Structure 1
Amino acid sequence: MTAVLPARPSAAERRAAPSLAAAVRELDRRRARSRQRMIGASELGECRRRAAYRVARRRPTNTRTGLQAFLGTELHRGVLRTLRRQYGGLTEVGLRGDQVKGRCDWWHAPVVEDLKTASRFGFERVLTRGVPTKHWFQVAVYAWLLRTGQTSDRRLPPGVGQDVEGLRIRYLSRDSGEDVVFEADHDPALAAEAIMWLSDVYATVDANGPEAVPRDGFGPGVDGMCDWCPFLDLCWGPPVEAETEGDVSRQSRLTVTDQDYVQAVHDYDTWRAAESEARRNKEYARERLRGRSGPADDLHCEWSGGSLRTQVDKDAAVERLVDLGEEVPTRRARSPQTIRVTRTGARAEGRSDAAA
Structure 2
Amino acid sequence: MTAVLPARPTTAERRAAPSLAAAVRDLDRRRARSRQRMIGASELGECRRRAAYRVARRRPTNTRTGLQAFLGTELHRGVLRALRRQYGGLTEVALRGEQVKGRCDWWHAPVVEDLKTTSRFGFERVLTRGVPTKHWFQVAVYAWLLRTGQTADRRLEAGTAQDVDGLRVRYLSRDSGEDVVFEAEHDPTLTAEAIVWLSDVYATVEDEGVDAVPRDGFGPGVDTMCDWCPFLDACWGPPVDPETEGDVSRQSRLTVTDRDYVGAVHDYDAWRAAENEARRHKEYARERLRGRSGPADDLHCEWSGGVLREQVDKDAAVERLTELGEVVPTRRVRSPRTIRVTRDPTRPEQEARP
**TM bucket by the smaller chain?**
over 0.9
Q: How much has 1:283 moved relative to structure 2?
A: 0.7
1:216 maps to: 216
Residues 258-306 of structure 1 show CA distances to partners (whole Å, capped at 9, x for unaligned) of 3332221111100111111111111110111001100000000000000
1:254 maps to: 251
1:314 maps to: 314
Residues 297-350 of structure 1 show CA distances to partners (whole Å, capped at 9, x for unaligned) of 0000000000111111111111111111111111111111111001113538x8
2:298 maps to: 298
Q: Secondary structure at the match of 1:229?
A: coil
2:21 maps to: 21
1:143 maps to: 143
Q: Partners of 1:260 and 1:224 in 2: how far apart?
A: 24
Q: Secondary structure at the match of 1:75?
A: helix
Q: Partners of 2:152 and 2:332 in 1: how far apart?
A: 58
Q: Partners of 2:128 and 2:224 in 1: how far apart?
A: 19
2:333 maps to: 333
2:343 maps to: 343
Structure-to-structure mapping, 1:1-356, within 5 angstroms: 3-243=3-243, 250-255=247-252, 256=254, 257-258=256-257, 259-347=259-347
Q: How much has 1:3 moved relative to structure 2?
A: 4.3
Please say which of residues 326-335 and 120-129 is displaced more in the overlay: 326-335
Q: Partners of 1:113 and 1:344 in 2: how far apart?
A: 56
Q: Partners of 2:24 and 2:147 in 1: how far apart?
A: 35
Q: Partners of 1:240 and 1:5 in 2: how far apart?
A: 43
What letter corresponds to residue 71 of structure 1 in structure 2?
Answer: L
What letter corresponds to residue 27 of structure 2 in structure 1?
Answer: L
Q: Partners of 1:263 and 1:139 in 2: how far apart?
A: 38
What letter corresponds to residue 296 of structure 2 in structure 1?
Answer: A
Q: How much has 1:10 moved relative to structure 2?
A: 1.8
Q: Partners of 2:18 and 2:230 in 1: how far apart?
A: 26
Aligned pairs, number: 347
Q: Secondary structure at the match of 1:243?
A: helix
TM-score, normalisation: structure 2 = 0.95
Q: Partners of 1:86 and 1:287 in 2: how far apart?
A: 47
Gaps of 5+ in 1: 352-356
What letter corresponds to residue 174 of structure 1 in structure 2?
Answer: R
Q: Partners of 1:101 and 1:261 in 2: how far apart?
A: 41
Q: How much has 1:2 moved relative to structure 2?
A: 5.0
Q: Partners of 2:30 and 2:270 in 1: how far apart?
A: 46
Q: Partners of 2:3 and 2:103 in 1: how far apart?
A: 52
Q: Partners of 1:2 and 1:312 in 2: how far apart?
A: 68
Q: How much has 1:253 moved relative to structure 2?
A: 1.7
1:354 maps to: none
Residues 200-249 of structure 1 show CA distances to partners (whole Å, capped at 9, x for unaligned) of 000000001010000000111100001111111111111111129xx9x6
Q: Partners of 2:161 and 2:2 in 1: how far apart?
A: 69
What letter corresponds to residue 65 of structure 1 in structure 2?
Answer: T
Q: Determine what percentage of the aligned residue pairs are the same residue.
A: 84
RMSD: 1.5
Q: Partners of 1:303 and 1:199 in 2: how far apart?
A: 45
Q: Partners of 1:223 and 1:185 in 2: how far apart?
A: 31
What letter corresponds to residue 179 of structure 1 in structure 2?
Answer: D
Residues 31-89 of structure 1 show CA distances to partners (whole Å, capped at 9, x for unaligned) of 11111100000000000000000000111111111000000000000000000000000
Q: Partners of 2:100 and 2:3 in 1: how far apart?
A: 55
Q: How much has 1:4 moved relative to structure 2?
A: 3.5
